[in-house]
Structure 1
Amino acid sequence: MIGAIALLLMCQLLGEALHRLTGIPLPGAVLGLLLLLLWFVIRPRERPVLSAVATWLIAHLSIMFVPAAVGLMQQGAILSRYGAGIVIATAISTILTLLVTVSVFRVVARRQESPSR
């Protein structure tokens, strides 16, 4: 199990290093996932071990959010003063993002439906 966690972290680290050293326009995490995929192609017998580790990590994912929650609790004065504005800005930006996404999807869907000439 420790070896599988080390493999995940190593792929993450190598992906970040690759991103920073080469300037590839992909996030380091995505490059790390691609490296992990390459590892699976090279050594497919390790999939069950990594699957077990990933299942365990997902089951305990809520623990990863504890530091963020503590950070929010420490900023109580700021949140009480600006909290409503933060919530409104977040709601508006979420709605706008959804509207733009739907619009782009509809445009692309219409283009694919029309026969190419």
Structure 2
Amino acid sequence: MKFLRQFMIILLLSFLGEVLKMFIPLPIPASVYGLVLMLVCLMTGVLKTSQVKDAAFFLIEIMPVMFIPAAAGLIDSWKVLQPLLLPILVITVVITVFVMVVTGKVAQMIAQKRGIKNE
């Protein structure tokens, strides 16, 4: 019963994200609204982590399974995606390297501010 209650809380916040999406005309996915609502509830203490922890862990554990339908959809769309494959790969590699460099620089900056020496 506890697991069901936790799952229903997560679904309620997701539903509220869908409602917000209908009323706020921004190009932001409804799931992001739901995640922001979850963050606000957790940060303000309206919701305790223990109230959603078990269901959240379960959802994270099964996340790879949730990508199977999306991957199957990509296989179905191969003819449309094939001409775009090279630009997508180039963009993915460039952005990945960029994110790695920026993350490394930010980590170095934080380490220097805290006085942590690099060994």
Corresponding residue number in structure 2 for 1:30: 36
Contiguous gaps of at least 5 residues in structure 2: 27-31
Q: Secondary structure at the match of 1:101?
A: helix
1:64-104: per-residue Cα shift (whole Å, max 9, x none)? Answer: 11231122112201332221221121011100111112112
Counterpart residue type for residue 38 of structure 1: V
Q: How does 1:1-117 map to 2 (within 5 A)?
A: 1-14=3-16, 17=20, 27-28=32-33, 29-36=35-42, 38-40=46-48, 47=50, 50-113=52-115
RMSD: 3.1
Contiguous gaps of at least 5 residues in structure 1: 42-46
Confirm or deny: 8 A CA contact 2:17 2:37 kept in the other structure: yes
Distance 1:58 1:83 in 2: 29
Aligned length: 103
- 1:15 deviates by 5.5
Task: State the structure with bigger RCO (CA 8 A, min sep 6), 1 or 2.
Answer: 2
Q: Secondary structure at the match of 1:38?
A: coil
Which structure shows the higher helix fraction?
1
Normalising by structure 2, report the TM-score: 0.63
The structure with the largest alpha-carbon Rg is 1
